[in-house]
Structure 1
Amino acid sequence: MTTTNEIADKIAAEQGLTKSQTKVIVESVLKQIADAAKSGAETSLPGFGKFKIKETPAREGRNPSTGAAIKIAASKKLTFAPAKAVKDALNG
């Protein structure tokens, strides 16, 4: 698993910036993606992929312990679709 701090450390080393500067930048990028998602906007990062909101309708499920029917509320999920270059790198 890679953390925000590890990403910031790698960018700092590559770009000659301080770790604190790059951590602020990384956190800001992630916040912008989250803010766009909250407003329902899609975020596209060419060569990397797209972050989209997927709306899941309300549905009926089952409690696995008792088998009783339960209602599962509608929800929104943030999904990621990788770009072709990322797919090729993973599978090549």
Structure 2
Amino acid sequence: MSALDFYARVAVCGEVLGVGLGADPEAWEAALGATCLDVPGGGLLRRDYGLVEINFSPDQPGRQGQMSCFGFGVKIQRLLYDLGSTAAGVP
């Protein structure tokens, strides 16, 4: 899959490698790997994989300590600096 195909698929399907809104950090890690930067703050968590950034918030009451994705973005401009790579699963 080319980088452009990857980006188009994300835009059309609303997910990255089968993971999307509502998924927990573990599901994202299973899809994208463990190499990322976690940036906590204000009760939220931003996970930065370079090409993909995911935002998590605490789940509903009763699921103490659980977080789920409420938004994510694909930083298309970062592909310019990583040609020929497999960043975030783009072969």
TM-score by length of 2: 0.25
Relative CO higher for 1 or 2, CA cutoff 8 Å, sep ≥ 6? 2
> Which of the two has higher C-alpha Rg?
1
TM-score by length of 1: 0.25
